């Protein structure tokens, strides 16, 4: 039976042994669709995160998707175009159940204003990364990546941890909401700014944020006390980062680490310019888009200028993947890209080995299933320091949102081995129900984004989008249950293409075959992508694990 959802009462959390669909594969995808809304930011409008990332195009489309998933046979494939189902076709039992293409606009037309016009006409919607692919698991979905970034900074500059260090950031939405808990887990005193009091309140309610300060003076006093005591603390402050960052700089305070995860990618539906309320912004979204975009970009100029000031004074400053540098440069900040992107600065050696954010969701709704898989991870990978450290921290600190789920940075071979062992546990009845395996779209072979994932690739292949397209075709050939190709919407229009995948472990031999082929081939392509760009780590991985790389 579904469970009550205190955050969104009209969107219960799925779970239980009863099936509405004709099989667990279809039921699994239905529950994942329900889950992204149960943990979403604005489910009444089908928005999951990032201002515009939607689970379906509109409510009629959503209802049609649900109906199709319930009624479809295992030898059919549901085709979804930008959040709207358009076909249910006879394929075969080893074909994907769902294939999607969301928000892919022809190159010369892939601009924010074209996207907004198409959206107004009801012809398109942006799936974000994991929102429209029904793979979002709440803020936990990015928290390990955020934590690993903080820990790489700690290792490079601060002796291995962030105790006694001040981290300044902004954005407490579905992505940014992971920051306060990740910072605290890394030992820091972290101040997180957001213009929306409801977001701050939500992050505190779900356990990601400890305190909400009444004003900047109180917030800085709380941070200062924690720094002096070397005490981990997360503090939220309601306000506009474009005003608060420059004010902190004006006071001569230099944080140790500075970043930002506001919705700077979207100047209309995301970022809120300084001097405007949220209600004022909403009133301009239909008829005042030009005014709103100009005001947002002007605020981002001040926002990023303050970040550059902190950098000049010795702070570790990085872009967290929200296009804020791009917007600032277009607004006239010529040196905005002096701020590095997190992927190149901290995580690229991991991605070159196809180590990235793998995730799984307990479709039973039972937390005990995740606990059992945690034990399995610790048993299977005792020498993997990243995994063992993370699982112990996650058990202590990470509250579940929606379906119980976990994320861990696993690489080639590790993902497949874990998933197949879990499938055995489902088959033996040790787990209360099937488990869905997925990953972030920000993965080795799955994303082309020259200002985030593929910035400054060694061979200059930053903008080549062949890889996520090849990944999607390969995953269809490898019998995955759901395969999706996304491109950017809103301010991300024209900047990215990504591929997503979900495979269901339902305890059957067929699931074992799907997991083996899909997960192994997915990471194989990731390693090959980085080998093609010339990364030594990838060649080491190919040699050590016998990946079928064709050298030219």
The bridge status of strand 435-439 relative to strand 356-362 is: antiparallel
Taking alpha carbons only, the member of 516, 532, 157, 105 closest to residue 317 is 157
Tokens, residue 16: 């239980």
Q: Is 335 annotated as a binding residue?
A: no
Which residue(s) pair with 335 in the sheet?
Answer: none
Decide: 162 and 150 in contact? Cβ < 8 Å. yes
407 vs 142: CA distance, rounded Å: 8
Tokens 């039972």 belong to 366
Q: Is 263 annotated as a binding residue?
A: yes
Tokens, residue 547: 């990946």
Q: Is 412 annotated as a binding residue?
A: no
Decide: 365 and 357 in contact? Cβ < 8 Å. no
**Which conformational region is residue 111 in: left (phi greater than 0), alpha (psi within -120 to 50 degrees), or beta?**
beta
Q: Is 261 annotated as a binding residue?
A: yes
Q: Is 272 annotated as a binding residue?
A: yes
Q: Is 383 annotated as a binding residue?
A: no
Decide: 472 and 484 in contact? Cβ < 8 Å. yes
Q: Which H, E and C letters describe 35-64, residue by residue?
A: HHHHCCCEHHHCEEECCCEECCCCHHHHHH
Tokens, residue 407: 């994320």
What are the C-alpha distances in Å from 350 to residues 319, 524, 536? 18, 14, 12
Decide: 170 and 191 in contact? Cβ < 8 Å. no
The bridge status of strand 84-90 relative to strand 76-81 is: antiparallel
169 vs 190: CA distance, rounded Å: 8
Q: Is 31 annotated as a binding residue?
A: no
Q: Is 151 annotated as a binding residue?
A: no
CA of residue 431 relative to chain centroid, distance: 27
Q: Is 488 annotated as a binding residue?
A: no
Decide: 195 and 172 in contact? Cβ < 8 Å. no
Helices (H) and strands (E) in the chain, counts: 19, 17
Long-range pairs for 108-112 at CB < 8 Å and ≥24 separation?
110/487, 110/488, 110/493, 110/494, 111/493, 111/494, 112/266, 112/267, 112/268, 112/293, 112/490, 112/491, 112/493, 112/494
Taking alpha carbons only, the member of 508, 513, 447 closest to residue 478 is 513
372 vs 328: CA distance, rounded Å: 46
CA atoms 537, 543, 549, 550: torsion sign: positive
Q: Is 512 annotated as a binding residue?
A: no
Q: Is 188 annotated as a binding residue?
A: no
What are the C-alpha distances in Å from 317 to residues 73, 122, 326? 51, 39, 15
**DSSP letter string over 439-458?**
E-SSSTTTEE-TTTTTTT-T
Q: How many residues are present in the chain?
A: 552
CA atoms 468, 147, 47, 328: torsion sign: negative
Which residue(s) pair with 435 in the sheet?
Answer: 362, 505
Q: Which residues are annotated as a binding site?
A: 174-176, 194, 199, 240-241, 261-265, 271-272, 490
Output the known binding site for NAD(+).
174-176, 194, 199, 240-241, 261-265, 271-272, 490
């Amino acid at each position: 039976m579904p469970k009550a959802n205190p955050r969104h009462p009209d969107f219960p959390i799925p779970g239980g042994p009863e099936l509405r669909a004709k099989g667990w594969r279809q039921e699994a995808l239905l529950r994942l669709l329900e889950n992204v809304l149960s943990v979403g930011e604005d489910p009444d409008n089908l928005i999951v995160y990032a201002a515009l990332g939607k689970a379906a195009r509109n409510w009629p489309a959503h209802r049609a998707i649900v109906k199709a998933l319930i009624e479809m046979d295992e030898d059919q494939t549901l085709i979804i175009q930008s959040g709207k189902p358009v076909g249910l076709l006879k394929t075969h039992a080893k074909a994907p159940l769902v294939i999607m293409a969301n928000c892919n606009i022809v190159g010369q037309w892939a601009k924010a204003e074209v996207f907004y016009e198409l959206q107004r006409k009801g012809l398109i919607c942006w799936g974000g990364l994991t929102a429209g692919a029904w793979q979002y698991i709440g803020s936990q979905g990015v928290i390990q990546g955020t934590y690993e970034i903080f820990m790489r900074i700690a290792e490079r500059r601060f002796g291995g941890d962030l105790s006694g260090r001040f981290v300044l950031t902004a954005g407490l939405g579905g992505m940014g909401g992971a920051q306060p808990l990740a910072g605290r887990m890394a030992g820091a005193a972290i101040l997180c700014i957001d213009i929306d009091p409801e977001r701050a309140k939500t992050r505190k309610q779900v356990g990601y944020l400890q305190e909400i300060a009444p004003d900047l003076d109180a917030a800085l006093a709380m941070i200062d006390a924690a720094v002096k005591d070397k005490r981990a603390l997360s503090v939220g402050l309601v306000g506009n980062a474009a005003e608060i960052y420059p004010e902190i700089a004006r006071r001569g305070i230099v944080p140790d680490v500075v970043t930002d995860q506001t919705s700077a990618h979207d100047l209309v539906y995301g970022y809120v310019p300084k001097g405007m309320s949220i209600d004022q912004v909403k009133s301009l979204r239909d008829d005042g888009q030009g005014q709103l975009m100009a005001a947002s970009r002007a605020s981002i100029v001040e926002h990023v200028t303050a970040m550059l000031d902190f950098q000049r004074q010795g702070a570790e400053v990085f872009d967290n993947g929200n296009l804020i540098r791009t917007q600032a440069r277009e607004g006239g900040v010529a040196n905005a890209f002096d701020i590095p992107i997190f992927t190149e600065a901290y995580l690229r050696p991991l991605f070159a080995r196809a180590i990235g954010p793998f995730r799984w969701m307990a479709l039973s709704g039972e937390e005990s299933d995740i606990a059992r898989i945690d034990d399995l991870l610790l048993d299977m990978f005792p020498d993997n320091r990243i995994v063992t450290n993370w699982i112990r921290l996650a058990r202590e600190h990470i509250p579940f949102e929606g379906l119980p789920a976990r994320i861990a940075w696993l690489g080639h071979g590790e993902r497949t081995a874990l998933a197949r062992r879990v499938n055995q546990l489902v088959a033996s009845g040790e787990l209360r129900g099937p488990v869905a395996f997925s990953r972030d779209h920000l993965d080795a072979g799955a994303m082309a984004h020259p200002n985030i994932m593929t910035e400054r690739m060694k061979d200059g292949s930053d903008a080549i989008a062949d890889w996520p397209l090849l990944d999607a075709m390969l995953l269809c050939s490898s019998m995955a249950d759901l395969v999706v190709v996304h491109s950017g919407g809103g301010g991300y229009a024209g900047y990215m293409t990504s591929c997503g995948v979900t495979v269901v472990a339902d305890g059957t031999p067929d699931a074992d075959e799907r997991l083996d082929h899909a997960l192994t081939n997915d990471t194989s392509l990731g390693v090959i992508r980085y080998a093609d760009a010339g990364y030594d780590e990838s060649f080491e991985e190919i040699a050590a694990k016998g990946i079928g790389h064709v050298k030219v």
